[in-house]
Amino acid sequence: MEGVTDSGLATLPASDRPDVAARLRTALLGSSFTADGLLDLLGAPAYAALARSETVPALRATRGDTPLETLVRLFLLQQPVPHARVAGVLPVDDLLDSGWLTRAGGDEVAATVDVRPYGGPDGEDWFIVSDLGCAVGGAGGIGRRHEEVVLGVGGASTTLAGITVRTPVAAALDLGTGSGIQALHAAQHATRVTAIDVNPRALHITALTLALSGAPAADLREGSLFEPVKEGETFDLIVSNPPFVISPGARLTYRDGGMSGDDLCRSLVQQAGERLNEGGFAQFLANWQHVAGEDWQDRVRSWVPRGCDAWIVQREVQDVNQYAELWLRDSGDHREDPAEYQARYDAWLDEFEARKVKGVGFGWITLRKTGAAVPSVTVEEWPHPIEQPLGETIRAHFDRLDYLRDHDDADLLESHFRLAVEVVQEQVGLPGAEDPEHVVLRQHRGMRRATKVDTVGAGFAGVCDGTLSAGRILDAIAQLTGEDPVLLRDRTPAQIRLLVEQGFLEPAV
């Protein structure tokens, strides 16, 4: 069939025609085919419906013949559009010649890929390319997935983009690049970007995403995990939204790692340390098994390579039934033969039962290469709301680790601190009571932590404005409360250390 590969997927546009991609980008922007433009055209309800794979509201909102409506029908809703109508908006002959469009019978043309506007962190107008019907929440919905299909941007992609540390770097690596969203972000602050994927189709689509977004080309390499990385080659930043799904077999390239259990995520984390430059970050999304009789924190902590600090956050845990159902629905198996669906479900549960897996955790792992003699590894469960982007929060976490490593208790008492600007104090107690039962410090940014403090801790934090040293503040508190200042100085550094570690207090440098 014309326009279809041997594998049954649509033939992709040529990736070696940057001139055509540039003209297409200009035309898209000229018609306000942007994230803001779509919201204005469709309205919030129809825009939100697209994320639920519901296209009827968007179809109703694009019944006119404006350039933007034409582009939405063509690239988002994947509807054939009359050639003459498209020619008034796009360089249609160039796009047909280079494969962005194909003839759909009669006088109509159709898109060969999904092109979706995506707003960059600083207001950039980017475009994410993916296979037809495979933008997450896209026009085709979530149906049975082809083995080599390339998905668009979903919640996992945006989560990783949001937690990534965005300091300028020389070399960045996007491992398992998919549609290229992480490589696109990295291109804004990395001199050189390398993108790796085992699926050659993903590398092709990444090249299209970068070109259509006006970003520099990346060094694209085919292969599994770190195999395509050259001997001795290292990076300042490694990011990966890998095929982390724990499944029986490797049916779908975009999600199934093909290794036993959570071995793919373990291998990825363990091998990252030797690929990082000093001070460099490696950041991953991952799944890990909760095995009967085993502490999940110990399991994931054992993955951390030598010479790296780590911060591991578990955001969610699903029991094995929920987990199997989630990914069977992702691939559309629930819409197919009921007997086949049941067989696949059974196979998933058999696999978990054989490994004594009771649940599966999802979260993120951040490594930072350090020269410290004793690296710090923090593993925690945090299912509570957070505020994205978290990249700066994560970078500051590791900076504070360095500070605390370099300052013993005596140093802390000589240091000056400031209360973080987003922190408020809450007093909890019965109405009318003379004193609160306890005092809570609460963050309204970043991780949005809350921690109980005693009256000394609350008083100390409230006075911290960078003016006085911690020791002098404690001496003043001792004078007010009648406590022994020596004992107060002796017992308080542990509380100061915790408040600094969790970001309630910041060193006043």
- State how far the alpha carbon of 72 is from the alpha carbons of 37, 108, 146, 309, in Å: 10, 15, 25, 46
CA distance 353 to 292: 10
pLDDT at 489 over 60: yes
Q: Sheet with 505-507: list strands edge to edge.
A: 465-469, 416-419, 505-507
Nearest one of 431, 429, 451, 449 to 440, comparing CA atoms: 451
Percent pLDDT > 90 in the chain is: 82
The predicted structure's pLDDT at residue 430: 76
Give the β-pairing of 416-419 and 465-469.
Answer: antiparallel
Kind and range of the H or E element at 450? strand 450-453
Confidence of residue 114 (pLDDT cuts 50, 70, 90): very high
Residue identified by tokens 């977004």 is 213
Residues linked to residue 318 through DSSP beta bridges, in sequence order: 360
The predicted structure's pLDDT at residue 137: 46
CA distance 44 to 129: 23
Q: What is the dihedral of CA 46, 48, 52, 55, to 10 degrees?
A: 20
- Is the CB of residue 269 less than 8 Å from the CB of residue 257? no
The predicted structure's pLDDT at residue 437: 76
pLDDT at 2 over 70: no
470: its two tokens: 């911690």
Residue identified by tokens 């993903």 is 202
pLDDT at 71 over 60: yes
418: Cβ contacts below 8 Å, ≥ 6 apart? 464, 465, 466, 505, 506, 508
The chain-wide mean pLDDT, for the chain, equals: 92
Residues 74-95: what's their mean pLDDT? 96
The predicted structure's pLDDT at residue 245: 87
CA distance 115 to 72: 9
The predicted structure's pLDDT at residue 482: 95
Condensed to tens digits (0 to 9), the pLDDT of residues 411-447 reads 999 999 999 999 999 988 778 766 777 899 999 999 9
The predicted structure's pLDDT at residue 53: 78
Provide φ and ψ at 304, rounded to 5°: -65, 125
CA distance 348 to 451: 40
234-250 as b/e, with b when 16 or more CB fall inside 10 Å? bbbbbbbbbbbbbbbee
* 151 exposure class (CB count in 10 Å sphere: 0-12, 13-18, 19+): buried
Condensed to tens digits (0 to 9), the pLDDT of residues 317-351 reads 999 999 999 989 877 777 778 899 999 999 999 99
Angle (CA) 181 182 188, round 5°: 100
* 355 exposure class (CB count in 10 Å sphere: 0-12, 13-18, 19+): middle
pLDDT at 5 over 80: no
CA distance 322 to 311: 27
Condensed to tens digits (0 to 9), the pLDDT of residues 9-37 reads 889 999 999 999 999 999 999 999 999 99
405: its two tokens: 């490593």
- Is the CB of residue 219 less than 8 Å from the CB of residue 195? yes
The predicted structure's pLDDT at residue 449: 97
Condensed to tens digits (0 to 9), the pLDDT of residues 244-283 reads 888 887 666 677 767 788 999 999 999 999 999 999 999 9
Give the torsion sign (CA, 65, 70, 72, 74): positive
Residues 367-378: what's their mean pLDDT? 94
The predicted structure's pLDDT at residue 105: 83
- Is the CB of residue 182 less than 8 Å from the CB of residue 161? yes
- State how far the alpha carbon of 311 is from the alpha carbons of 284, 300, 400, in Å: 11, 11, 12
- Lowest-confidence pick of 158-162, 232-236, 323-327, 410-414: 323-327
pLDDT at 290 over 90: yes
Residues linked to residue 115 through DSSP beta bridges, in sequence order: 129
pLDDT at 139 over 50: no
Confidence of residue 8 (pLDDT cuts 50, 70, 90): low
Amino acid at position 253, single letter: T
Q: Residue 95's Cα: distance from chain center in Å?
A: 32
